[in-house]
Amino acid sequence: MSNYVFSFGPWNIHEGADPFGPTVRDSIEFDRKLEQYKKLGFDGVQFHDDDAVPKMNDMSKEQIIAEASAVKKKLDQHGLKAEFVAPRLWEDPRTIDGGYTSNDPNCRKYAVERSLRCIDIAKALGTDLIVFWLAREGTYIRESKDSVVAVRRIADAINAMFDYDGKIRIAIEAKPNEPMDHTFIPTIGHAIGLGMLTKDASRVGCVIESAHAILAGLDPSDEMGYALAHKKLWTVHLNDQNGLKFDQDKTFGAVDLRRAFNQVRILEKHGYADDGHMVGLDVKAMRTQKADDAMRHLSNSRAIFLRLLEKARSFDTKLEADLIAQRNYEALEMYVINHLLGD
Ligand code: XUL
Ligand code: MN
């Protein structure tokens, strides 16, 4: 029934630590996590570079490629595919003030070199897609960085990556805040615009995370529509978010079912899956969840997506067109609600 292929990252099975308290569940080894993917209904694995090669900062390029190739074998054994690799540029002491936009040239150099190693890992894992979540590319105080210089520096880093490899594509995951007060690439319009500053805009696309759009005060399905109109929606991070607070990564559709329906609908209407894109989730189990059922948020998110897909496919588009022609949006709204409620 569904042509949709789902993915998540190993960080989506996690120990429940938050900024105010320690872990509440035991760690699960990467290999054990891989065993869960198919059982949960997933075929794609999202990676940070160090999810694949944890000690990469202490290794040579050749060692990194050898270790990533061993991970690729494990993916093959499980019948899984790497969807993308994202350079983790927010934990190292050299990225305290940002990676590509750091005010320290040595730190910027580190960020670019790490990104080239991330490309090596992506190639060894069999994907040409790099995701940029630009975690610390922003400011806590406006005066600390020149935003013109900063944006050009991010474009320069992308150019260095394009020079290094002729095939990789970069999908930018916009987010307006957290950990920073303000980021330089807060929305998908910014992400697509940044591509135009690089030497090859055709290789720069985006990832839309539902929660990040909501944190920017935007409707995620409209962000998706904007990216789809530009043919730039190369993957998604579906989840949910209860208003303007910390990035919650809640189960997809768990807060606002109608908002989730509209995301599924725009993807379905515009052939997102037919273009070969995976449906990525970026969801966290609640900290209160006991360990024995702490993967349910993943299968639940997928199940909610598929139920909303049925709703998108059974939506009466003739009625919709009639009500739009009559400009009877009150009736259209009630039809949407009745449809979602099962009438
Ligand atoms: C952060 C976030 C990350 C990225 C991957 O808010 O969503 O998990 O998706 O680096
Ligand atoms: Mn994400």
What secondary structure, in 3-state letters, does 320-343 show? HHHHHHCCCHHHHHHHHHHHHHCC
Distance (Å) from CA 160 to ligand 1 centroid: 23
* Ligand 1 center from residue 321 Cα (angstroms): 38
Residue of 12, 85, 188, 209 to test ligand 1 pocket, by largest number of atoms within 8 Å of CB: 209
**According to the model, what pLDDT value does residue 204 have?**
98
Q: What pLDDT was estimated at residue 115? A: 99
For the chain, percent of residues with pLDDT exceeding 70: 100
pLDDT of residue 55: 98
- Residue 150's beta-bridge partner residues? none
Q: 254-280 pLDDT, tens per residue? A: 999 999 999 999 999 999 999 899 999
pLDDT digit string, tens, across residues 172-207: 999 999 999 999 999 999 999 999 999 999 999 999
pLDDT at 331: 98
Position in ligand 1 atom list of the atom nearest CA 207: 9
225: number of Cβ within 10 Å: 20
Q: What is the pLDDT of residues 123-173, one digit of tens each?
A: 999 999 999 999 999 999 999 999 999 999 999 999 999 999 999 999 999
How many Å apart are CA 230 and CA 153, to the nearest integer? 24
Of the candidates 26, 43, 49, 51, the residue annotated as catalytic is 51
Residue 90 · residue 138 · CB < 8 Å: no
Read off the pLDDT of residues 17-58 as tens digits, 9 standing for 90 and up: 999 999 999 999 999 999 999 999 999 999 999 999 999 999
Sign of CA dihedral 92, 209, 158, 73: positive
235: left (phi over 0), alpha (psi -120 to 50) or beta: beta
Where do the structural domains in the chain lie, given as residue ranges?
A: 6-314
Provide the pLDDT for residue 139. Answer: 98
Q: Which CATH superfamily is domain 6-314 in?
A: Divalent-metal-dependent TIM barrel enzymes (3.20.20.150)
- What is the pLDDT at residue 343? 77
